Amino acid sequence: MSLEVKVPAVGESITEVTIAQWLKKDGDRVEMDEVIAELESDKATFELPAEAAGILRIVAQEGDTIDVGAVICRIDQDGAAASAPAAPAAEASQPAAEASAPAAVAGEPVEMKVPTVGESITEVTIASWLKNDGDHVEMDEVIAELESDKATFELPAEAAGTLQIVAQEGDTVEIGGMLCKIIPGAGASNAQAQANAKQDAATQKVAAQPAAATSGAQTYASGTPSPAAGKILSEKGINPNEVQGTGRDGRITKEDAQNAQQAAAKPAAAAPKQEATASNEAPAAAGERNQRREKMSSLRKTVARRLVTVKNETAMLTTFNEVDMKPIMDIRSKYKEKFKEKHDVGLGFMSFFTKACTVALQEWPAVNAQIDGNDMIFNDFCDVSIAVSSPKGLVVPVIRNAEQLSLDGIEKEVIRLAKKARDGKLSIEEMTGGTFTITNGGVFGSMMSTPIINAPQSAILGMHNIVQRPVAVNGQVEIRPMMYLALSYDHRIIDGRESVSFLVRVKELLEDPMRLLLGV
């Protein structure tokens, strides 16, 4: 049987790739998941693993540019046994075939693909594998964590058996893409399955040694730079033989080339430094000047893209006001113990601000509306999004029907959602559908800011830190705890009168909290 290997989807905007080089020749035998080629796009270099064991039949040649989804090669699985390698390798690989026989008899491998996790999510990133390649897994056991631009999901095993990982940690895979395979255990115990996997790996290692000795090299990839790494080494005049590869099978990665570049640059810097000193020029900067590069998470990339989109596609404007926080602080000081004793939750500022906003939103519905094409959608409910800073980036879980909740109900929802955000356990439903957002930069010490609208909403309220300042109260100068408020809004749907009136109404309700209780 011949298996067609096609160019995988390697990115949302990538439609074609170029074959940088074939690491195996036409007619060579390849093993499952062995890297057989390197593909280049306009953004990055990717490795192409074999999807099955067998004889390689190359279709597209080095230097060819082919579309995503096009056939790049075929693997003749039927001819795998007929193509016998060198005698020592064949004899050494025989125990490996025997060791893997129980798994083959057990049944067909179960292919696990990326499930549909949300209406607008087209790809996920593998955050971490919780089980190792070759481990035995049980049915419904969580084997990996997947990360989208909105949330983190757990991936349960769809069958019991031995895990074969296809996509690695950090890889971005489209919905429906292959993640791993599970070889059914056919009644074998966990210990037996793990023993088989270890024996298989050990036998393959023994089989590789005679072949390596015959060829005079460790593996085909040892000391070989990737196309990106080769380009860097060539530009810097560094011999690849002087670089230690840390990639798969000893391959020199782009990071290896960059590190080698830095290491080679240090001795060369000595001579210019001496010349500069001799010519009375400014000395070089003292101390370490290290840099580190980290890959942006899917969440942070999506947040960045959406914020830029909002700035470019909305008529965003910000209006400011200030609030005397003394009345609320007096209420908290007087009733916080009794409040916590009765409701089992603390009385914070967020419940007052959320409640005041829901009252003002119902009085000025344009602030609670949004634009959809040529239509304006007005909501008679208030789903308030609360911006929370999580370890993975900014998220905005939603408090549903906040206008119907009491102060203790709002506090409980804020605590529940904030905890799930910090633990990375928020669901898609808990982060979509908000009509208005509140963000509190004051917890980090911000005095003033212009928050960016959380699309497709039309307004966002920014809270800031509380500072003791002199203000005029009834003709007298007093020291009061003051907070600046900022309302950023889309001027296409919200007029200046509505935005200013909304913020003034929030100010009135906060400076006289009795209005919240009486509804006036």
| CB neighbour class for 19 (10 Å; exposed up to 12, middle 13-18, buried from 19) | buried
CA max distance for the chain: 101
Q: Are 68 and 16 in contact (CB under 8 A)?
A: yes
> CA dist 243 to 175, 180, 259, 262, Å?
38, 33, 9, 12
The two structure tokens encoding residue 428: 């898609």
Alpha carbon of residue 324 to chain centroid: 40
- Reference 192, options 99, 324, 272; nearest CA is 99
Give the Cα separation of 34 and 345 in Å (integer).
56
Alpha carbon of residue 67 to chain centroid: 26
Q: Are 140 and 156 in contact (CB under 8 A)?
A: yes
Active-site annotation holds for 491: yes
Q: Are 4 and 76 in contact (CB under 8 A)?
A: no
- Three-state DSSP at 29 gives strand
Place of tokens 């001027």: 491
Give the Cα separation of 312 and 331 in Å (integer).
42
Give the Cα separation of 294 and 145 in Å (integer).
19
| CB neighbour class for 184 (10 Å; exposed up to 12, middle 13-18, buried from 19) | middle
Q: Which residue in the list 200, 256, 491, 512 is annotated as catalytic? A: 491
Give the Cα separation of 8 and 72 in Å (integer).
10
Beta-strand pair 459-473/436-440:
parallel
The two structure tokens encoding residue 218: 């460790």
Number of residues written out for the chain: 520
Beta-strand pair 54-58/71-76:
antiparallel
Q: Which residue in the list 26, 64, 78, 495 is annotated as catalytic? A: 495
> CA dist 236 to 42, 258, 381, Å?
22, 10, 62
Give the Cα separation of 135 and 415 in Å (integer).
38
Q: What is the DSSP string of 98-126?
A: HHHHHHHHH---EEEEPPP--TT--EEEE
Tally of CB atoms within 10 A around 6: 14
Give the Cα separation of 440 and 459 in Å (integer).
14
Give the Cα separation of 57 and 270 in Å (integer).
52
Q: Residue 300 is inside which H or E element, if any?
A: helix 298-313
Q: Report the amino acid identity of residue 327.
A: P
Ramachandran angles phi, psi of 146, nearest 5°: -110, 145
Catalytic residue annotation: 491, 495
